[in-house]
Amino acid sequence: MAPGVTRRNFLGTTGTLAAGLTSGAAMAAGSAQAAETAVGDRLKVLGIGCSHRKGRTTSTALGVCLEAARAVDPRIDVELIELAGLKIPGHVAAGVPLEPGERDDFPQVANKIADPALAALILATPVYFGNMSSPCKALIERCTIFHTDHSPLTNKVAGVLAVGGGRNGGVELTVRSVQVALMSLQMIVVGDARPTGHWGGTAWSGAEAVKNTKGPDITRDELGMATMKNLGRRVAEMTLRLAGCRAC
């Protein structure tokens, strides 16, 4: 549990956003402001990679997606962070306190999410047993603190991408599962833009062209990369729309 937050007051204040956030982020948490962002402001697109493995297929796919978002407009800034190596205990969301000495890196991620410059969020997860990874699930559970009337996520754009090892291993189910959580957080969820035009970024790390390379090299999944780029583009376009650029 965040410093200064007892189990009792945590349960009573999960919506206050005070727990573990910097004062600037906590202040930002008081206003749902995406729709009011003025044209000309910097628009931050934050990508969170939720693989256990840093710099691997999910992270690479997220990088492709973010780069496509950035290329849409010079006002768009992108940042990629990875949960690999971080400790985000999900049990805190249910009011179960941290053990003495137990590490909790959620506040640093929460501060990024609550950044007033945040205009869009892209969550990227590998497919595990037909669903999101445990770091992704734990992050979403901890985002209970943003499940409030005046959350910094309200009316912000959201996109989801997933990378699976199987051709039919559940990548779309995984994308859908994460999207549902983001909808609960009052986000405006978008899919990948046409011509692929479906639910989000979907890549296949088990494809012959991908797995027969060192790494494997997920960028060799051409269709998958098209969905990543089109997701980035769609997220950026909707972000600009909400920022007031009606012609975008």
Ligand X SMILES: Cc1cc2nc3c(=O)[nH]c(=O)nc-3n(C[C@H](O)[C@H](O)[C@H](O)COP(=O)(O)O)c2cc1C
The least distance separating ligand X from the CB of residue 166, rounded to whole angstroms, comes to 3
Nearest residue relative to ligand X (C-beta): 169
Among 63, 107, 159, 169, binds ligand X (CB under 6 A): 169
Dihedral of alpha carbons 124, 125, 131, 134, sign:
negative
In angstroms, the CA 119 to CA 78 distance is 10
CA-closest candidate to residue 47, choices 204, 203, 160: 160
The DSSP code sequence of 10-30 is HHHHTTT--TT--HHHHHHTT
**Cβ-based nearer residue to ligand X, 73 or 217:** 217
In angstroms, the CA 135 to CA 200 distance is 20
The least distance separating ligand X from the CB of residue 86, rounded to whole angstroms, comes to 15
Among 14, 37, 51, 154, binds ligand X (CB under 6 A): 51
The reply on whether position 53 binds ligand X by CB under 6 A is: yes
Q: Which stretch binds ligand X (CB under 6 A): 7-15, 32-40, 63-71, 127-135?
A: 127-135
**Cβ-based nearer residue to ligand X, 12 or 166:** 166
The reply on whether position 202 binds ligand X by CB under 6 A is: no
The least distance separating ligand X from the CB of residue 201, rounded to whole angstroms, comes to 12
The reply on whether position 135 binds ligand X by CB under 6 A is: no
In angstroms, the CA 163 to CA 132 distance is 10
- What separation in angstroms does the CA of 27 have from each of 49, 98, 116, 152? 26, 26, 9, 10
Q: How many residues does the chain have?
A: 248
- What separation in angstroms does the CA of 116 have from each of 31, 35, 189, 193, 232? 9, 12, 19, 26, 20
The reply on whether position 127 binds ligand X by CB under 6 A is: yes
**Cβ-based nearer residue to ligand X, 8 or 167:** 167
The reply on whether position 197 binds ligand X by CB under 6 A is: no
What backbone torsions phi and psi does residue 67 show, to the nearest 5 degrees?
Answer: -65, -40
In angstroms, the CA 28 to CA 60 distance is 30
The reply on whether position 154 binds ligand X by CB under 6 A is: no
The reply on whether position 177 binds ligand X by CB under 6 A is: no
The least distance separating ligand X from the CB of residue 45, rounded to whole angstroms, comes to 20
Q: Which stretch binds ligand X (CB under 6 A): 16-24, 110-118, 160-168, 237-245?
A: 160-168
The least distance separating ligand X from the CB of residue 173, rounded to whole angstroms, comes to 9
The reply on whether position 56 binds ligand X by CB under 6 A is: yes
The least distance separating ligand X from the CB of residue 202, rounded to whole angstroms, comes to 10
In angstroms, the CA 246 to CA 207 distance is 40
**Cβ-based nearer residue to ligand X, 151 or 202:** 202
Taking a C-beta distance cutoff of 8 angstroms, is the pair 74, 40 a contact? no
Q: Name the residues that contact ligand X, by CB under 6 A.
A: 51, 53, 56-58, 126-130, 163-166, 169-170, 205
